[in-house]
């Protein structure tokens, strides 16, 4: 494969369907209601795409949805992924995992199955996931996977709905025998952009939580290992850095981000990896810079049923625009922020979803107004 751009994507998110059996208000997948005429990629097309990802040198692929196990051929998709050199994960709500499916998963090379568990009990989890009974089904899925010796990680999507129960949820996940928990911060894309007031945690509330869990992590108070997945890719994502800075605790960023972590970014480059170190593909073959962009169809870089991945990676106007954008040209409040070059301009997908301009500020962040 001939690369005209000097970088190749390290990781790819592949959403094999946007259909889901749950109904989370904050979902970024914008799942269309199921219509039989909606034609998702078939196995042959998926295999071709996986092979092209492998050829492009992608190191890690996340197979996800919607809910990927709604596809009756999802185990076959995993078997296809087994043929290639990249490592792969599966993201699922686990509600459809039976003992038989867990045993099939155990026969594949999947590195781990990442399962969303948003609350320590039925009431909170089902509220977050929009369906009564989801909690019990998810717990059953976790149990089946553990019995089949499949490695499982937990993901908590933090929102207004479960913020008061975060610590309890982390401990609950630990008691399930899960050793790694990722706290996923909410992006303002897809469903979340429409229900921001109902689900998006106010900055003050997030600050209080972050200070508390930072102390707990520092003091080794958590049983499982806990990480935070912010929406930006910087070593100083504003979601972590701004609350700590405003409380004179900026050095505590090292609790969450390794101080020796390095990035590939140039001096005036946005710290967004979309179309530079990452790529995402939806169930129809559309290519995006990252999974958060999938609900913003204007950000599609091309379609793999019409073009080869190499052609899209090398020549897409969308990707070339992402690569050329400079922080010093950012529009809106970030332009006057004193830590712009430390933060890297927040999340581009969120900025676009809220302002319909990829060069505008990530207006979820209060720092632009404060500094």
Cis amide leading into 285 (omega within 30): no
Asked whether the beta carbons of 209 and 221 are under 8 A apart, the reply is no
Q: Could you count the other beta carbons within 10 Å of the beta carbon of residue 224?
A: 19
Q: Is 248 left (phi over 0), alpha (psi -120 to 50) or beta?
A: left
Window 277-316: residues binding ligand SF4 (CB under 6 A): 278, 290, 292-293
| Contact call for residue 15 and ligand SF4 (CB under 6 A) | no
Which are the contacts of 308, defined by CB distance < 8 A and separation ≥ 6? 52
What is the size of the binding site for ligand SF4 (CB under 6 A)? 28
Asked whether the beta carbons of 299 and 293 are under 8 A apart, the reply is yes
Which residue in this structure is represented by tokens 């989801």? 134
Q: Which is nearer to ligand SF4, 156 or 349 (CB)?
A: 349
Per-residue DSSP letter, 69: G
Which residue in this structure is represented by tokens 């129809």? 284
Shortest Å distance, C-beta 34 to ligand SF4: 27
**Can you tell me which of 152, 192, 209, 349 binds ligand SF4, judged by CB under 6 A?**
349
Binding-residue pattern over the window 224 to 263 for ligand SF4, x denoting contact by CB under 6 A? -------xxx----x---x---------------------
**Beta partners for residue 184, in sequence order:** 157, 229
Q: Which is nearer to ligand SF4, 121 or 297 (CB)?
A: 297
CA 309, CA 268: separation in Å to the nearest integer? 28
What kind and span of H or E run contains 166?
helix 166-175
Asked whether the beta carbons of 50 and 62 are under 8 A apart, the reply is no
Shortest Å distance, C-beta 277 to ligand SF4: 8
| Contact call for residue 269 and ligand SF4 (CB under 6 A) | no
CA nearest to 158, candidates 135, 196, 128: 128
Q: Which is nearer to ligand SF4, 165 or 276 (CB)?
A: 276
| Contact call for residue 139 and ligand SF4 (CB under 6 A) | no
Q: Enter the tokens of residue 174.
A: 């630990």
Window 314-333: residues binding ligand SF4 (CB under 6 A): 333
| Contact call for residue 20 and ligand SF4 (CB under 6 A) | no
Shortest Å distance, C-beta 168 to ligand SF4: 28
**Beta partners for residue 190, in sequence order:** none
Q: Enter the tokens of residue 271.
A: 């710290």
**Can you tell me which of 9, 65, 66, 346 binds ligand SF4, judged by CB under 6 A?**
346
| Contact call for residue 12 and ligand SF4 (CB under 6 A) | no
**Can you tell me which of 156, 334, 353, 358 binds ligand SF4, judged by CB under 6 A?**
334
Which of these segments, 45-53, 101-109, 151-159, 346-354, binds ligand SF4 (CB under 6 A)? 346-354
Asked whether the beta carbons of 292 and 350 are under 8 A apart, the reply is yes
Shortest Å distance, C-beta 274 to ligand SF4: 4
Shortest Å distance, C-beta 231 to ligand SF4: 5
> Which positions touch ligand SF4 (CB under 6 A)?
231-233, 238, 242, 272-274, 278, 290, 292-293, 333-334, 337, 339-340, 343, 345-349, 361-362, 365, 367-368
């Amino acid at each position: 494969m001939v690369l005209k751009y000097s970088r190749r994507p390290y990781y790819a998110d592949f959403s094999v369907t946007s259909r889901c059996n749950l109904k989370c208000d904050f979902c970024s997948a914008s799942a269309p209601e199921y219509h039989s005429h909606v034609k998702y990629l078939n196995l042959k097309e998926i295999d071709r795409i996986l092979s092209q990802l492998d050829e492009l040198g992608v190191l890690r692929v996340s197979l996800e949805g919607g809910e990927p196990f709604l596809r009756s051929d999802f185990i076959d998709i995993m078997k296809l992924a087994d043929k290639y050199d990249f490592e792969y994960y599966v993201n699922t709500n686990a509600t459809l995992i039976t003992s038989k499916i867990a045993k099939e998963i155990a026969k594949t090379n999947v590195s781990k199955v990442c399962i969303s568990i948003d609350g320590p009990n039925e009431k909170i989890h089902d509220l977050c996931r929009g369906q009564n009974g989801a909690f019990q089904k998810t717990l059953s899925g976790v149990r089946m996977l553990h019995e089949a010796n499949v490695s499982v990680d937990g993901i908590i999507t933090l929102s207004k709905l479960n913020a008061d129960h975060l610590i309890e949820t982390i401990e609950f996940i630990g008691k399930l025998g899960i050793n790694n928990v990722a706290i996923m911060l909410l992006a303002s894309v897809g469903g979340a952009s429409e229900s921001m007031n109902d689900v998006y945690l106010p900055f003050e509330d997030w600050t209080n939580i972050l200070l508390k869990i930072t102390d707990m992590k520092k003091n080794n108070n958590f049983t499982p290992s806990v990480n935070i997945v912010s929406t930006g890719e910087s070593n100083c994502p504003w979601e972590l850095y701004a609350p700590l800075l405003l409380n004179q605790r900026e050095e505590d960023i090292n609790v969450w981000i390794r101080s020796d972590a390095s990035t590939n970014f140039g001096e005036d480059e946005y710290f967004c990896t979309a179309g530079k170190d990452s790529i995402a593909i939806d169930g129809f073959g559309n290519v995006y810079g990252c999974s958060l962009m999938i609900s913003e169809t204007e950000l599609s870089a091309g379609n793999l049923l019409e073009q080869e991945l190499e052609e899209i990676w090398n020549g897409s106007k969308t990707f070339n625009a992402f690569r050329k954008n400079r922080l010093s040209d950012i529009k809106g409040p970030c332009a006057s922020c004193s830590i712009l070059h430390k933060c890297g301009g927040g999340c581009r997908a969120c900025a676009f979803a809220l302002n319909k301009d990829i060069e505008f500020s990530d207006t979820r962040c209060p720092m632009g107004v404060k500094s």
